[in-house]
A and B are shown apart, each in its own frame.
Chain A
């Protein structure tokens, strides 16, 4: 793999334009993501958060613009080069997108089987390690997706995204539809995994608590463009949408509970030991 040059962004988006019919979703989006950071992507409904994610991982072809991941142009590469990239990132879709005809363990083994020739037993062990790592109970591996709750499906989806120990994980609204306790635990899980695996995390979210609890920087999609900054910088931004987003009643509540989140994480991880 590549030499770790910290100045070089791991994802670089330049002049991205996305249009569906007459509707322009992105009009000149620029975004850099640094290696090892958690970047949150927020924006109103229909502002193109998921489209941005899908464009970066190559599921959507933009009208114009340039997308580089690991310093390589994603939009102009052969199938072969794409495959080499794809085992270096993992994607968690909304609601997991687990293959419904396979058990959780088999779901995790799909990418491993695709890329490596591995003895069955070792593969079973590795998939069980991932099941444990994302905090699923041990017996979850043998279950089918429809037997799991929404929160467990998301964890299982994350386990599959982590199957090949990727350098980047893309998470599409990982905490939506989870109860606050499960959502908090998921935030904590992402921070832990980032610390231990050195992940770069691209987090699309609506969840303000999640944003305050996990992200190093935040990219806000407004007016078909993107504004990036740390939370402190964005809190002082005077764009009306950003103002009402962070300073609305929910935004204020999330800011105030930030201290609480950190405190409770400490106690929780202490009890987990």
Chain B
């Protein structure tokens, strides 16, 4: 550590000398700051700042000198600066020209009190209501522009649509397949383990058929796609928002909803049912293999039992939900993308939010479908 000194001595009654020496740099600023704050400052006396000993000075050091001068002056002292080396003068002038600084206060979090806590609950609630309202408005705008587009089908952007279908659908086939296969294996294994106690191993097939076709196939596909494509939609549109690309589209006369949102919504609505079908097939395949391995149910017997256990509607009940889930995921993904403010940090925050929100809404919708189907008694 370089040597620094800052001392205040009363040389004769009513007259002080503040002697600064050494390296007054940003490296030593913390040490100097500590010493300066420890000084007992006189009031209404004469003080000379003797700066002859200063060997090196940077703007942090210059600030500390000026702050000392200011602190002395506000106590009513007559302050004068002496023995400043001429090569330091411009720097001291430059910092002095900025004036006494008022450091920017960092905002303190306000919710440490009960009132603050209540206020925060209120703010969050109002925020949620405003959000729901604005998502609803976005939903309306998307429906309107989708309707307009369907009336003039020639305006549909086939290239963008196909590109989206490839990215969200074809490229997701391996991961959806792998996870569904594993889910099939797990259900078959756990189901067989429990049902064996009743000697009802064969009903593992029923469990698999109903579980995967009605619920798990489509739900797994939807959750994977929400994580994979919903987040991508938010990040893509959000980054475009940061770069003012969305504004550029508007000035060219292109409707961002038509150019960016509709291909994503339509693409996903078309591909998610196919992915759900794929998840159903691979999930059953996994279950079939596991049943064969652990229960000795051969594939022909598995298929026979599967056919006997299913109602005609079971498969369609699962698949019918897919377009609805796809719509929710694409809508939320795009909506959050448009909410991005002009900072990189908000892209990340909203991407996370978009995934959480779309999975939440998908599961809520799934519950809604269950209630609906039970009313219809199918």
When the two chains form the complex, which single residue of B63, B94, B106 contacts A125, counting CB atoms closer than 8 Å?
A: B63
A185 CB to closest chain B CB (Å) equals: 14
A191 CB to closest chain B CB (Å) equals: 11
- Answer whether residue B81 sits at the interface, using C-beta atoms and an 8 A cutoff: no
B243 CB to closest chain A CB (Å) equals: 11
A177 CB to closest chain B CB (Å) equals: 14
- Answer whether residue B30 sits at the interface, using C-beta atoms and an 8 A cutoff: yes
Total chain A interface residues with beta-carbon distance under 8 A: 39
- Answer whether residue A47 sits at the interface, using C-beta atoms and an 8 A cutoff: no
Q: Do A192 and B94 touch (CB < 8 A)? A: yes
- Answer whether residue B91 sits at the interface, using C-beta atoms and an 8 A cutoff: yes
Hey, which chain A residues are within 8 Å of B248, CB to CB?
none
Residue of B nearest to A142 (CB): B104
Residue of B nearest to A194 (CB): B90
When the two chains form the complex, which single residue of A100, A105, A124, A139 contacts B342, counting CB atoms closer than 8 Å?
A: A100
Instruction: Count chain B CB atoms within 10 A of each CB in A119, A132, A193 and give the residue with the most.
Output: A132
- Answer whether residue B155 sits at the interface, using C-beta atoms and an 8 A cutoff: no
Q: Do B27 and A116 touch (CB < 8 A)? A: yes
When the two chains form the complex, which single residue of B30, B59, B97 contacts A197, counting CB atoms closer than 8 Å?
A: B59
- Answer whether residue B73 sits at the interface, using C-beta atoms and an 8 A cutoff: no
- Answer whether residue B58 sits at the interface, using C-beta atoms and an 8 A cutoff: yes
Size class of the B contact interface (CB-based, 8 Å): 20 to 34
Hey, which chain A residues are within 8 Å of B63, CB to CB?
125-126, 129
Q: Do B95 and A129 touch (CB < 8 A)? A: yes
Residue of B nearest to A141 (CB): B104
Contact mask for chain B residues 26-48; partner A; CB cutoff 8 A; 1 contact, 0 none:
11011001100000000000000
Q: Do A126 and B98 touch (CB < 8 A)? A: no
Hey, which chain A residues are within 8 Å of B195, CB to CB?
none
- Answer whether residue B344 sits at the interface, using C-beta atoms and an 8 A cutoff: yes
Whether A126 touches B29, Cβ cut-off 8 Å, given contacts A100-B342, A101-B344, is yes
Q: Given the complex of chains A and B, what is the CA–CA distance between A164 and B61 in angstroms?
A: 11
Q: Do A162 and B59 touch (CB < 8 A)? A: yes
B3 CB to closest chain A CB (Å) equals: 15
- Answer whether residue A23 sits at the interface, using C-beta atoms and an 8 A cutoff: no
Q: Given the complex of chains A and B, what is the CA–CA distance between A129 and B67 in angstroms?
A: 11
Q: Do A138 and B94 touch (CB < 8 A)? A: no
B62 CB to closest chain A CB (Å) equals: 8
Q: Given the complex of chains A and B, what is the CA–CA distance between A272 and B96 in angstroms?
A: 13
A6 CB to closest chain B CB (Å) equals: 14
- Answer whether residue A112 sits at the interface, using C-beta atoms and an 8 A cutoff: yes
- Answer whether residue B112 sits at the interface, using C-beta atoms and an 8 A cutoff: no
Hey, which chain A residues are within 8 Å of B106, CB to CB?
103, 105-106, 124
When the two chains form the complex, which single residue of A121, A124, A126 contacts B26, counting CB atoms closer than 8 Å?
A: A126
When the two chains form the complex, which single residue of B29, B94, B104 contacts A193, counting CB atoms closer than 8 Å?
A: B94
Q: Given the complex of chains A and B, what is the CA–CA distance between A101 and B95 in angstroms?
A: 28
Q: Given the complex of chains A and B, what is the CA–CA distance between A196 and B61 in angstroms?
A: 13
Q: Do A125 and B103 touch (CB < 8 A)? A: yes
Hey, which chain B residues are within 8 Å of A121, CB to CB?
103
- Answer whether residue B125 sits at the interface, using C-beta atoms and an 8 A cutoff: no
Whether A119 touches B58, Cβ cut-off 8 Å, given contacts A133-B98, A195-B90, is no
Contact mask for chain A residues 212-247; partner B; CB cutoff 8 A; 1 contact, 0 none:
000000000000000000000000000000000000
Q: Given the complex of chains A and B, what is the CA–CA distance between A145 and B91 in angstroms?
A: 28
Q: Given the complex of chains A and B, what is the CA–CA distance between A40 and B99 in angstroms?
A: 31
A–B Cβ pairs within 8 angstroms, 20 of them: A101-B344, A106-B106, A112-B26, A119-B34, A125-B101, A126-B26, A128-B103, A128-B104, A129-B59, A132-B99, A133-B95, A145-B343, A146-B341, A146-B342, A162-B59, A165-B58, A165-B60, A196-B91, A197-B58, A272-B97
